[in-house]
A = this chain, B = another copy of it.
Amino acid sequence: MNDLARTERTRIRRLHERGRYDIATARAILDAGWLCHIAYVIDGTPYATPTMYWREGDRVYWHGSSASKMLRGQKGGGEVCFTVTHVDALVLARSGFHHSARYRSLMLIGRPEMVEDEAEKDRMLGTFIDRLWPGRNAALRPPTPQELKATAIMGMDIDEGAAKISSGPPADDEEDYDLPVWAGLQPVITSFGEPVPCPRLKPGTALPDYLRSGD
């Protein structure tokens, strides 16, 4: 239940009024998505790798193959930056300079730890599935010991970091508001499309409720 630690390296300096450090905002940004980008360093080279994530309490988790370069690189205990970005709109202003985006983002810095306990990994992977599709995990066969072993889970506290939120109409220079240029927001919408069944779906298998569109 702690807010984000606002350190010299994470507090928002430029457009600082967009900075948010309360845990409720951090959670809301996390719970609105499932794709993050993680920055980490291997042999001096920075990498930004996309991966899926989930939240439990005030920790974030991501997973992958135990053999992946990213997860092997993170095992060493080095710091990573975990970033989630939701773009809500593009901003068309009256001057090129004030074109911008409306977004909610969260950046966390920390040292991820690997989840070692196999039973705990089993439970957590189920949580991840159910978070996306409530109730689905109970319908799946349990993971085998080999599958659990091949899956690495990294976790990191929601601790040091900052959220940044940009919202509202274009902010133009006062003397530009009289220009006859269309200005406003172009909303960016991310949604799920109609499910596409596997060609080898067992005949008679019904589409689960959690995949039905809300009509």
Contact = CB atoms under 8 A, between A and B. Distances in A.
B140 A181 contact: yes
Contacts of A132: 90
A179 interface: yes
Given A85-B37, A95-B143, A183 B169 contact: no
A41 B38 contact: no
Nearest to A84: B50
Given A140-B95, A140-B96, A185 B180 contact: no
Contacts of A103: 50
A70 B57 CA distance: 30
- Which size bracket describes the interface of A in this complex? 35 or more
Contacts of A158: none
B178 A198 contact: no
A48 B62 CA distance: 16
A9 to B, nearest CB: 6
Interface string A171-210: 0000011111111111111111111111111101111100
Contacts of A199: 169
Interface of A: 9, 13-14, 35, 37-50, 52, 65, 67-69, 79-83, 85, 87, 89-90, 92, 94-97, 99, 101, 103, 105, 107, 109, 125-126, 129, 132-133, 136-137, 139-141, 143-144, 147, 150-151, 169-170, 176-202, 204-208, 211
For the complex of A and B, the 5 pairs showing the least CB-CB separation, nearest first, are A187-B193, A39-B48, A39-B39, A37-B37, A50-B85
